[in-house]
Amino acid sequence: MTLTETRPAPAAGEPTEELVPAAVLPESPFTTSDHKRIGRYYIAAALLFVLVSTVVAVVLEISLTGTGTSTLEYDRLFSLHSTSAALLFLPLLFLGLATYLVPLQVGARRLAFPRLQALAFWGTLFGGALLQLSYLFGKPNGWGIAYPTALPFAKGGASRATDLWVASMVLITVCMALAAANLLVTVLKLRAPGMTMARVPVFTWSVFAVSAGVLLTAPVFAGGLLVLYLDQHFGAGVFNNANGGLVWQRMLWLYGRPDVYLVAVPALGALTDIVATHARRALPSLVAAKGLVFATLVLAFGVLAADRTVEHAVLQPTPTVLTALIAVPIGLLVLMWLGTIRPSSLHLHISLAYVFGFVALLVAGGVNAVIAPSQHLQGGANGAGSAWTVGQVHAVMFGAPTLAAFAAIYHWAPKIYGMALNALLGALQFLCLLAGFVTMAAGQWIAGYDGAPWHVGSYTGPDASNWANYAKVSSAGGLLVALGLLLFCGNAAISWARARTVPQPSRPANPYGGTTLEWGTSSPPPEDNFDAIPEVRSAAPLAHLAEEAAG
Partner 1 sequence: MTAPQLALPSGERRPDPTITVYGAIALAVSLVVLLGTLAAVYVALRAGTHGWLPKALNRDEYFDNTLAVTAFLSVVAGWWGVYGVVKGSRSQAVTALSIVVLMDAAFLNLLTYVVRQSHLSPRQGGYALVWYALVVAIGAVFATGIGVAGITLARVAGGLVSTADPSLAWCAAWYGTFVAVAWFVMYYLVHVVQ
* Closer residue to partner 1, CB minimum distance, 306 or 545: 545
Contacts of 277 (CB under 8 A, 6+ apart): 347, 411, 512, 513, 514, 515, 516
> Which helix (H) or strand (E) element contains residue 139?
none
Binding of residue 226 to partner 1 (CB under 8 A):
yes
Picking from 125, 124, 169, 123, the residue whose alpha carbon sits closest to that of residue 145 is: 169
Shortest distance, CB of residue 210 to partner 1, whole angstroms? 14
CA 129 – CA 5 distance, rounded (Å): 45
Task: Name residues contacting partner 1, limited to 194-213 (CB under 8 A).
Answer: 194
Contact 450, 377 (CB under 8 A): no
Contact 88, 49 (CB under 8 A): yes
Shortest distance, CB of residue 420 to partner 1, whole angstroms? 16
Binding of residue 533 to partner 1 (CB under 8 A):
yes
Q: Which residue among 60, 181, 200, 397 contacts partner 1 (CB under 8 A)?
A: 181
CA 207 – CA 205 distance, rounded (Å): 5
- Please choose, out of 131-139, 177-185, 356-364, 436-444, the segment that lies near partner 1 by the rule CB under 8 A: 177-185
Binding of residue 103 to partner 1 (CB under 8 A):
no
* Closer residue to partner 1, CB minimum distance, 138 or 508: 508
Task: Name residues contacting partner 1, limited to 246-265 (CB under 8 A).
Answer: 247, 250-251, 254
Kindly state the number of chain residues that form the binding site for partner 1, as judged by CB under 8 A.
72
The strand pairing partners of 147, in sequence order, are 143
Binding of residue 513 to partner 1 (CB under 8 A):
no
Query: What end-to-end distance do the CA atoms of the chain give, in Å?
Result: 10
Shortest distance, CB of residue 240 to partner 1, whole angstroms? 12
Shortest distance, CB of residue 523 to partner 1, whole angstroms? 8
Q: Which residue among 5, 22, 67, 152 contacts partner 1 (CB under 8 A)?
A: 5
* Closer residue to partner 1, CB minimum distance, 198 or 226: 226
HSE at residue 268, side-chain half, CA atoms within 13 A, is: 30
Q: Which residue among 201, 213, 224, 391 contacts partner 1 (CB under 8 A)?
A: 224
Q: Which residue among 320, 531, 538, 543 contacts partner 1 (CB under 8 A)?
A: 531
- Please choose, out of 265-273, 382-390, 396-404, 540-548, the segment that lies near partner 1 by the rule CB under 8 A: 540-548
Shortest distance, CB of residue 11 to partner 1, whole angstroms? 12
Contact 450, 404 (CB under 8 A): no
Full DSSP string of 388-417: HHHHHIIIIIIIHHHHHHHHHHHHHHHHHT
* Closer residue to partner 1, CB minimum distance, 27 or 535: 535
Angstrom CA distances, 333 to 12, 268, 284, 540, stand at 48, 8, 11, 20
Binding of residue 236 to partner 1 (CB under 8 A):
yes
Shortest distance, CB of residue 308 to partner 1, whole angstroms? 14
CA 198 – CA 196 distance, rounded (Å): 5
- Report helix, strand or coil for 316: coil
Task: Name residues contacting partner 1, limited to 288-307 (CB under 8 A).
Answer: none
Q: Which residue among 23, 136, 188, 197 contacts partner 1 (CB under 8 A)?
A: 188
Binding of residue 17 to partner 1 (CB under 8 A):
yes
Task: Name residues contacting partner 1, limited to 450-509 (CB under 8 A).
Answer: 504-505, 508-509
x-or-dash string of contact with partner 1, 146-175, rule CB under 8 A: ----------xx------------------
Binding of residue 284 to partner 1 (CB under 8 A):
no
Q: Which residue among 70, 153, 197, 234 contacts partner 1 (CB under 8 A)?
A: 234
> Which helix (H) or strand (E) element contains residue 142?
strand 142-143
Question: Where does residue 8 fall: left (phi above 0), alpha (psi -120 to 50 degrees), or beta otherwise?
Answer: beta
CA 183 – CA 212 distance, rounded (Å): 9
- Residue 93's identity, in one-letter code, is L
